[in-house]
Structure 1
Amino acid sequence: MSANDGATMASSRQFVLEKESELRVEVGPEATLRLRLTAGAAEVFGAELPPEKWITVPAFQNIAIFTWKGATIELDGISEVEYVADETPMVSYVNVHAILDGRRTRARTGNSQGPRTIVVGPTDSGKSSLCRMLLNWACKRSWKPTLVDLDIGQGSISMPGCIAASSVEMPMDAFWEIPTEMPVVYFYGHTSASANVELYKVLMKELAQTLEKRFSCISEYEVAGMVINTMGWTDGLGYELLLQAINIFNADVVLVLGQEKLFSMLKDVLKSKPHVDIVKLHKSEGVVLRNQKVRQMSRSYRIREYFYGLNNDLSPYSLSMNFGDISVFRIGGPQAPRSALPIGAEPLSDPTRAVIVNINYDLVHAILAISYAKESDQILSSNIAGFLYVAEIDFESKRITFLAPCPAELPSKLLVMGTLKWSEN
């Protein structure tokens, strides 16, 4: 069947896939699309599709439905693009999985550290998709790998603007719903690492230390290792942050997607570390390049999903509090007030200092993280309990209204803001 790229097809249609081919589908911001497997076996990024069950594809999803032995897929609804491709890099990806699987087996036998795999490459090279595949294939083999998400732009474990990790104990569904009980989340607060580079580095170290403690207590997490997703900033300062991530998390497998120059640079700089394997992989031709507007829309959709659910099936709770009941902090501020400095001297900025924020209109539409910290100097090293959306501020009554995902009492009165904003409208 030929490609549909007019975003108009709404009737039910079937695609018969030959072995080792895939159906690529792009769903837009307003589109509604369902799919089901009617014959054979197929998977979406390593997650097997259940037979004869309709699955709704959320907005902004670009998916590849792959089959190893042949399958028939039925689509119903509207997509922006859909076509069948018989050239895919899946064989090379599954070969990587097989090597990692062997290393996990040896780690379990020798009671040692499992593979720590970091996936690097430019924006829109398929890093998140490859991470999903490697995690799902590992879970099918009964391993419990840890996903580490350093991509603050989109956020796969938590809200955008976070550095996070979670053990993945069972295969994820086709659309990135991670079955997790104990995520570790640190709030960076921005969607670009350049906004506060020092804070980004500090939070990476905090996360790595937390994971090392967890691994020392739970051997099955240690032998399963990590799959680390990174941001698409790969030159200049972004490249330096990539090198730091490789060191901080003790990565021993570096998968480079779709960038010869980056592969060459890493191979050269890491040659002094013979235990680190650098592997060049082709990116899928199905990877879609997204412009800034689409990225922002996708991010907004991800934030909305936190409060309203993947399929708009949750009802957030409106929470009103007095100004005095909460304390809002921002990370990054002057080391000392001007009053404490010599006349004419400018205060130096400390990018990792928590500074109290007076409640003002800048907070409207902000996403605030609820910190588990008891004191402000613990904010950097404290996990995040969840998030609030500032819906309204009434300065006459000195009350602030939040949108919260559930009606429970806040676990902490210390809230952290960055530059992350969202509007319900």
Structure 2
Amino acid sequence: MSNPPLPRQFKLEKESELRIEVGSESPLRFRLLPGGTAEIFGTELPPEIWLTLPPRHKFAVFTWHGATIDVDGISEVEYVADETPMVSYVNVHAVLEGRRARAKGASSNTSSNTQRSEAPVDSQGPRVIVVGPTDSGKSSLSRMLLSWAAKQRWKPTFVDLDIGQGSITIPGCIAATPIEMPIDPVEGIPLEMPIVYFFGHTTPSVNTELYKVLCKELARTLERQFSANADVRAAGMVINTMGWVEGVGYELLLHAIDTFNANVVLVLGQEKLCSMLKDVLKTKPNVDIVKLHKSGGVVPRNPKFRQKARSYRIREYFYGPSSDLSPHSSIASFNDVIIYRCGGGPQAPRSALPIGAEPTADPTRLVPATMNQDMLHLILAVSYAKEPDQIITSNIAGFIYITDVDLQRRKFTYLAPCPGELPSRFLLVGSLTWLET
């Protein structure tokens, strides 16, 4: 049996970073020593305070001016790198800051001019969409841009379209939330006011039309918020996307750029994608396309690792990032809930179609689902909808995990983050599973 590693110290020169991959079994502690400054994904570290990162986390401590870091615990990888793309990233941030300031100024001018009934285009802050192949560092760059903006007292909106990973909530969802403070390197994205729509699967290929519908619904909701709040409008948004950039994935990327009216496209680590986007978006002169280098700290992840990461995100939802929460187990009757799947079934019978036409599946059709043994270990979304026809366009209240199904008694047991009755009878089910370990 090997001895645990001793605490160690890393001295970082200016514009260098310490890259660490935490082991899979135990957490790791680190702290910034006095006399230096450092940050993780744009969030400054407090000096002399030990921070604990859970297993399987990857992070980079970057310093602009120099820093000394103490590390205690088991890591799979740890090294200091002096070649990073951080200068180019912070230059992008500076350009976005200028746009936010101009948008705020334009908004102020508009509000003082009673003759104007509509806000000019200039009052819209940057709508940044971060694109690139799998494992190019999109989530990390999004966090940096959001944290740097929040540090300057803006409240940008974070939009997460990556249903495979889930940065705001669990995988299988598209979501948005305001970012009012730099993102905590341990706790992650705050969940006070998220807008969440449940797709129910970890790849959009299951139902691409439903994915598009949910993107449009989220965009409409955000447009209403932006039109009602000049500061939120000026702060703009940062949109994180999937790593699927070919074929249907590329089409969904173009759909997202159009749906959210993105005016800045940041392309990470792929010349071909950048060239394709410049060609297809050349008719939109107000859209800037910027190619950026991906960080050398970005590590390719195999499907098994991705599955583990998804499982960890779901566990985090119920138990917290540090496993300090206590989810609640409850029993409910089959009659207490109404469960739906979204998409499937023919849109109309053949008799109602023109001669020769084939019935097609309706991607947004709600199909009633039965509570049975197939529901075991599935994650179900609890909808805020009051009526079934509101389910597609309604925000999600939260999620439950089915731990037992008793067909004889017609009862099921579920895990929820908190005790009490479910906020709605309407539940949505997809293919999202979790085996609690």
TM range, smaller chain = over 0.9
With over 3 angstroms needed to count, the CA separation of the structure-2 counterparts of 1:66 and 1:183, relative to structure 1, is: same
Give, in whole Å, the separation in 1 of the partners of 2:347 and 2:137: 44
For 1:108, which of 104, 110, 116 is the aligned residue?
Answer: 104
State how far apart, in whole Å, the 2-side matches of 1:313 and 1:346 are. 54
Deviation readout 1:315-362 (Å, 9 max, x if unpaired): 1101110100101100012136879889xx986321111110011111
Question: 2: distance between equivalents of 1:296 and 1:174?
Answer: 22
- Of residues 56, 59, 64 in structure 2, which corresponds to 1:63? 59
SS in 1 for 2:343: strand
Match of 1:94 in 2: 90
1:18 corresponds in structure 2 to 13
Distance 1:262 1:183, change over 3 A: same
Question: 2-side partners of 1:310 and 1:10: how far apart?
Answer: 24
Which piece of structure 1 moves more, 370-379 or 98-107?
A: 370-379
The question of whether the paired residues in 1 share the 8 Å contact of 2:350 and 2:359 is answered with no
> Residue 278 of structure 2 aligns to a residue in which SS?
helix
Q: Structure 2 length as normaliser, TM-score?
A: 0.93
2:329 corresponds to 1:321: no
2:364 maps to what in 1? 352
Any idea what SS the aligned residue of 1:185 has?
strand
What's the counterpart of residue 115 of structure 2? none
Structure 1 contact 255–279 (Cα < 8 Å) conserved: yes
CA contact (8 A) 2:347 2:362 kept: no
What is the SS of the residue equivalent to 1:80? strand
Distance across 1 between alignment mates of 2:359 and 2:334:
28
Q: Count matched residues.
A: 417
Off by >3 Å, runs of 4+ in structure 1: 335-342, 345-348
Instruction: Describe the SS at the equivalent of 2:31.
Output: strand
Given candidates 292, 307, 313, the residue that maps to 1:281 is 292
Aligned partners of 2:191 and 2:383: how far apart in 1? Answer: 19
The secondary structure found in structure 1 opposite 2:419 is coil
Alignment of 1:129-144 (within 5 A): 129-144=140-155
Residues 1:170 and 2:185 are matched in the alignment: no
Give the counterpart of 2:223 among 201, 212, 227: 212
Please state if 1:311 is matched with 2:322.
yes
Report how far residue 29 of structure 1 moved.
2.3
Measured in 1, the distance between the counterparts of 2:124 and 2:233 equals: 6
Matched, 1:237 2:231: no
Of 115-124 and 180-189, more deviation after overlay is shown by 180-189
Q: Distance in 1 between matches of 2:358 and 2:290?
A: 48
Q: Distance in 1 between matches of 2:228 and 2:420?
A: 31
The TM-score, its normalising length taken from structure 1, stands at 0.95
Which SS does the other structure have where 2:363 is aligned?
strand
Q: Deviations over 1:348-388 (max 9, x none)?
A: 32111111001111100000000011121111100000000
Q: Which moved more, 1:60-69 or 1:176-185?
A: 176-185
Q: Distance in 1 between matches of 2:293 and 2:358?
A: 50
Could you tell me how far apart the structure 2 residues matched to 1:16 and 1:403 are? 45
- Aligned partner letter, 1:16: K
CA spacing shift, 1:10–1:191, aligned 2, 3 Å: same
Distance in 2 (alpha carbons) for counterparts of 1:324 and 1:357: 13
Contact 1:165-1:185 at 8 Å conserved across structures: yes
Within the candidate set 374, 378, 384, 1:372 is matched to 384
Distance 2:180 2:213 in 1: 28
State the secondary structure of the residue aligned to 1:352.
Answer: coil
User: Aligned AA for 1:284?
Assistant: S
| Aligned mates of 2:190, 2:313 — CA distance in 1 | 17
Note the alpha carbon deviations across 1:374-409, whole angstroms, 9 max, x for none.
Answer: 121111100000000000000111001100000022
70, 73, 95: which is aligned to 1:74?
Answer: 70
Instruction: Percent identity, please.
Output: 65
Cα shift readout 1:266-316 (whole Å, capped 9, x = no counterpart) = 011111111100000000001011000000001000000000111000111
Corresponding letter in the other structure for 1:172: I
Distance in 1 between residues matched to 2:98 and 2:89, nearest whole Å? 15
Deviations 1:22-45 (A, max 9, x none): 000011321321110013110000
2:52–2:186 CA contact under 8 A, matched in 1: no
- Alpha-carbon distance between aligned partners in 2 of 1:152 and 1:17, rounded to the nearest angstrom: 36
CA RMSD of aligned residues (A): 1.7
